[in-house]
Structure 1
Amino acid sequence: MSVFYNTCGLRLPAMRGMTITARMHRDRAAQKRRSAGFTLIEMVVTLALVSILFIMAVGGYRYFSANRALDVAAREIRIQIREAQSMAVSTGNTHRVYFNVSDDTFVMQRRQGSDWVNASPAEALPSAVNFDSSSPPNFDGDAYIECFARGTSESGTLVLQNRNSKTKTISVDGETVHVTESG
């Protein structure tokens, strides 16, 4: 074995045909290659964790969006009932909000002679919401609420349900024309 002396006077073993500086560069390059990438196991574990977090986020979003859709549907029906009450008083003509349980729509209608005509386009409930089939809309035995020109309306309740089985009940007091929401 030959001995190599560097400029500082240190005794270092010499390598065949390679200087110390070249050896240091080679070692650094090899270390960089080893630390530059990821192993397959690291990649699989990372993807698994990201997938789990994504699935949890999507589940939470679906739950939140169904509850939000229920709130929006209840608010829209309340607004429609209030608008029918207002239109009945201002026009002197009976108006009603008709609830079609079979296709989950509702529409404001006005009396024209002995017929009812749509006063606005039918609105559909959001896809995550429907009328509760165990408790259909009941306003004095009908699936609609009539609002009269004198400012009163029929009394009754309407129950909405979302795909998470959460419900909201809309109640109307006919004498005070008070519309409340609970649930």
Structure 2
Amino acid sequence: MSRARTPVDAGYTMIEMIVTIALAGTLMAIAVSGWQGWARASEQDGFLTELRAEMRQAQQRAVTTGSSVCVRFDAAAETYTVLDGRCDVATTVLQQPRSAPSGVDLDAPVFQHGTDHTEPGVTFTSRGTATPGHLYVQRDGGPRTKLKVEGLTGRVSTS
């Protein structure tokens, strides 16, 4: 025969409560660490999207104004600047330097200007073409993403 439960016996045991709290704590710790990684990756993706948009805008400006526009990268300072004219001679600033977010690095900007000359910036011409090249964007401890500019079309893509 089983004994009937009295109102004093109703509820959870101490062991059940401890196990529940331990499981909840473990799940929260996993969620927080996963969220931090997602936030860092999202920051890099957001910067890449912004940079691609700025470069497309520079290309459109070159076509509409009928003169070249340069987007020059400074890997040491982690910034890029939009200038009026070709990258090898441009001095008029169209847009003040913009910085990459903290922890996001701009690496190895190399764009081909002529057969034997490279610059750390891309020049968009009035015909919509560009100086071909690439640069890498990487957040601390994250994957390295290549931002590539095609010469004939001026298309900006990532891989």
TM-score bin, normalised by smaller chain: 0.7 to 0.9
Amino acid in the other structure paired with 2:17: M
Alignment correspondent of 1:154:
131
Aligned-pair CA distance for 1:64: 2.1
Amino acid in the other structure paired with 1:101: A
CA shift digits 1:72-99 (9 cap, x unpaired): 2222111111111111121123211122
Q: Distance in 1 between matches of 2:95 and 2:37?
A: 31
Q: Choose which of 93, 99, 117 in structure 1 pairs with 2:73.
A: 99
Q: Give the 5 Å matches for 1:22-171.
A: 31-36=6-11, 38-39=13-14, 41-111=15-85, 116-132=91-107, 136-140=108-112, 141-171=118-148
Alignment correspondent of 1:177:
154
CA RMSD of aligned residues (A): 2.5
Amino acid in the other structure paired with 1:143: P
| Gap runs ≥5 in structure 1 | 1-26
- 1:118 is paired with a residue of what secondary structure? strand
Amino acid in the other structure paired with 1:82: R
Is the 2:84–2:92 contact (alpha carbons within 8 Å) kept by the matching residues of 1? yes
TM-score (norm 1): 0.69
Q: Distance in 2 between matches of 1:44 and 1:118?
A: 63
Alignment correspondent of 2:115:
none
Is the 1:158–1:170 contact (alpha carbons within 8 Å) kept by the matching residues of 2? yes
TM-score (norm 2): 0.78
- 1:154 is paired with a residue of what secondary structure? coil
Q: Distance in 2 between matches of 1:119 and 1:142?
A: 19
Is the 2:70–2:90 contact (alpha carbons within 8 Å) kept by the matching residues of 1? no
Larger Rg: 1
Is the 2:111–2:131 contact (alpha carbons within 8 Å) kept by the matching residues of 1? yes
Aligned-pair CA distance for 1:137: 0.8
- 2:51 is paired with a residue of what secondary structure? helix
Q: How many residues align?
A: 149
Aligned-pair CA distance for 1:178: 2.1
Is the 1:70–1:168 contact (alpha carbons within 8 Å) kept by the matching residues of 2? no
Is the 2:83–2:90 contact (alpha carbons within 8 Å) kept by the matching residues of 1? no
Quote the sequence identity (%).
28
Is the 2:41–2:142 contact (alpha carbons within 8 Å) kept by the matching residues of 1? no
Alignment correspondent of 1:4:
none
Q: Distance in 2 between matches of 1:80 and 1:66?
A: 21
